[in-house]
Amino acid sequence: MESNASSNKLKYVGLEEASWFSQFQYGSNPWMARYVYGVIFLIMNLLAWAVRDYGRSALTEIGNFCIETDRYLDVNTGFKGCQGGLDCLGTEGVLRVSLGCFIFFFIMFLSTVGTSKLHDPRDSWHSGWWSVKLILCIIFMVLPFLVPPTIIELYGEIAHFGAGVFLLIQLISVISFITWLNDCCLSEKHVEQCHFHVMLLATAAYVVCIVGIILLYIWYAPDGSCLLNIFFITFTLVLLQMMASVSLHPKVNAGLLAPALMGLYLVFICWCAIRSEPPGTGCNRKAEVANRTDWLAIISFIVALLAIVIATFSTGIDSQCFQFKKVSTKAENDVPYGYGFFHFVFATGAMYFAMLLIGWNTHHSMKKWSIDVGWTSTWVRIVNEWLAACVYIWMLVAPVVLNGGQASEYP
């Protein structure tokens, strides 16, 4: 057993620091595998989009197939409770593709959770067997199109919760990275040499935050009638001030860098939330311009789709911030990232991309090249922003509260 473990150590030696091209050139390995899973996830995203925007026209080209299989595709009876069945065919198609993607990654989660060593047989399953996984992907993409609409409706309701779990995981991952970066810069080892760079980065971040807030007022609150947008933007500004005040409190003393970076994150979420408002309200001028300009809508859609994949990928390999017991030293034969957590994030990410493509509303029809549009999407983003601020502030004050009001140990 020890010889097997040592051979696996030598098997991947130096591969973690190598370029992605070298990792692919080497063959099946956990570093190459994560990119392959990312590509699979991207393909499933593109398939869901194609089914939503072009599914009905593609089925029409097949002839009378849609009419003969009216049990699943009849626009009058196949989508109970759905206003405008022709438009909602794409919505149900998105949920079917999402279900197949979820099943695939959830099975991968169940089969790899708890893998800790590179010599574990489940490491080979995670990093290889691609022909088997390709067959599984095809099967799981086809099966959801054979189940009745009631099951898809049930999955659509469950997907709301799963997408919320994904947003929560992503939120904690972002906050953990920001606090880790702040701790490194404020540590005794780096505080002297990083002081100037920290102040420069914090100042630049706050300048970008202020400019972003001003642009949000100009773009999305052009007059006093846009009360909701004014409230969203103003409350974001209040949250920025609260985070900075708490961070600079003598008992917390966490510096300016972390709240500045969190401010950028909150301003970005606020922008995404207001941008998700449906056009025609008179306040979302940018959405109306994008609605008229096809190429701009296409570019925005592609960027948003890539952002989903990148966010899922980066969050999936960040399992360390969710470990209750931190491991200070890592053995050479330890897995480079948590396989089970990686696949769990992709499974919830499958639910998340479904919600974005249908606007978080299973009875909501979406226009072509649109993503994450609707009042439900707006409020999900806003609540996510407020929750992010609350979690970050709690992470600042929790040590003080739990230590009986004693000052933090930041230098």
User: 318-364, pLDDT tens digit by residue?
Assistant: 666 555 455 555 666 777 888 888 899 999 999 998 988 888 887 76
As given in the structure block, the two tokens for residue 159 are 């997907």
Are the CB atoms for 279 and 291 separated by under 8 Å?
Answer: yes
In this prediction, residue 221 has a pLDDT band, given cuts at 50, 70 and 90, of confident
Give the model's pLDDT for residue 356.
86
Q: Is the pLDDT score of 284 beyond 90?
A: no
- Average pLDDT value for residue range 9-14: 52
- Mean pLDDT for the chain overall: 77
CB count, 10 Å around CB of 377? 24
Are the CB atoms for 233 and 270 separated by under 8 Å?
Answer: yes
In this prediction, residue 122 has a pLDDT band, given cuts at 50, 70 and 90, of confident
CA 328 to chain centroid? 28
If DSSP codes are grouped into helix, strand and coil, which group holds residue 280? coil
Q: Is the pLDDT score of 264 beyond 70?
A: yes
Give Dmax over CA atoms of the chain in angstroms: 74
Q: Is the pLDDT score of 79 beyond 60?
A: no
Dihedral sign for Cα 181, 182, 185, 189, please: negative
How much of the chain exceeds pLDDT 70, in percent? 71
Q: Is the pLDDT score of 386 beyond 70?
A: yes
> Rounded CA gap, 49 and 97, in Å?
9
Higher pLDDT, 118 or 409: 118
- Average pLDDT value for residue range 233-246: 94
Give the model's pLDDT for residue 396.
87
Q: Where are the domains of the chain?
A: 1-166+338-370
Report the range of poorest mean pLDDT among 229-238, 313-322, 384-393.
Answer: 313-322
